[in-house]
Amino acid sequence: AEYQLAIAKKLKESGKKIVFDNDDTYKDFNGFKFNDLMTEEKMKAGLGELDKSINAFIKIADLVTCTTEALKKEYEQVNPNVVILPNTVDPFYYPEPLRNESDIVRIGITGSVGITSDIEVLKPIIEHYQNDPRVRLVLLSMPPEGENEIYKKLYTQEYSFWNKVNIEWHSFVKSDVYYEYLNELKLDIVIIPRADSLFNRCKSNLKFLESSMLETPVVAQSFPTGDSPYEFNPADRDYLLLATDTASWIAQIETLINNKVLRRDMGRKAREYVTENYSIEKHAHKWADAYQSLLNK
């Protein structure tokens, strides 16, 4: 980070405009270990140093861009010139949704949800459903044990948990094939549980957008304060189900398990809504406006 900061300073001295863009906070440790074999203590210390470097970068930037209002508020404490460039979708990259035609309802859990503090929200849900003959839990997250030695050493506790769960387990895939791979899992429902933390309050509704583009209905986290990433845009609430605690999670999941017609209808309407309201074509002007504002100064 110090190397990039030094380069940015040199470029600014030569008259170049500096833009800082980010979509996560580094002020909160959520359990995700992004350096090989790092302990939690080292990770927290490393995050502190990273946060200092990022703040220094933000301070000299001519423009700061981010994806959420929560991040905007964080960055404005250092630099007042912050613009939200929201997550969007490009329908061109999404395949025609595949359907699960079996009688077993496939419930998907994807991404960092499987390796962070969000597991604590997941545990009672998994305990309730892992042996339910009506459903099949599907995890798309860290590699199954034995496929990646670094992950095995990084996430000892997480592997200890997942290895005991009755679940269909798939590893992370590269971003250029992610939508195809997710589609091929033929999920009937995607659940997005989130621990109530600063890190998660700074996240966006991206998982809802991705699942909706594959016509997969979503049950997502609600916070008691009503400002989770899946509540921030009030219009989103009409196209997903929200859950706050274990009882409401199970109630919402049951609603979808028991009604195939509702699942299909929710998925179809969510795709129409996301395509219309989150298409890159609709929001591309925000990037143009933000960068043009730099040239006008």
Quick check: 220 and 113 in contact, CB under 8 A?
Answer: no
pTM attached to this predicted model:
0.90
Confidence at residue 91, expressed as pLDDT on a 0 to 100 scale: 96
Confidence at residue 125, expressed as pLDDT on a 0 to 100 scale: 97
Confidence at residue 153, expressed as pLDDT on a 0 to 100 scale: 79
Confidence at residue 36, expressed as pLDDT on a 0 to 100 scale: 47
Confidence at residue 40, expressed as pLDDT on a 0 to 100 scale: 55
Confidence at residue 245, expressed as pLDDT on a 0 to 100 scale: 96
- Report helix angle 40-60 to 2-13, nearest 10: 0
Confidence at residue 26, expressed as pLDDT on a 0 to 100 scale: 75
Determine the 3-state secondary structure of 74 from DSSP.
Answer: helix
Confidence at residue 83, expressed as pLDDT on a 0 to 100 scale: 97
Quick check: 213 and 228 in contact, CB under 8 A?
Answer: no
Determine the 3-state secondary structure of 236 from DSSP.
Answer: helix
Confidence at residue 37, expressed as pLDDT on a 0 to 100 scale: 43
Regions of the chain where pLDDT drops below 70: 1, 28-48
Determine the 3-state secondary structure of 279 from DSSP.
Answer: strand
Residues 89 and 112: their CA atoms lie apart, in Å, by 20
Quick check: 21 and 27 in contact, CB under 8 A?
Answer: no
* H-helix or E-strand spanning residue 138: strand 135-141
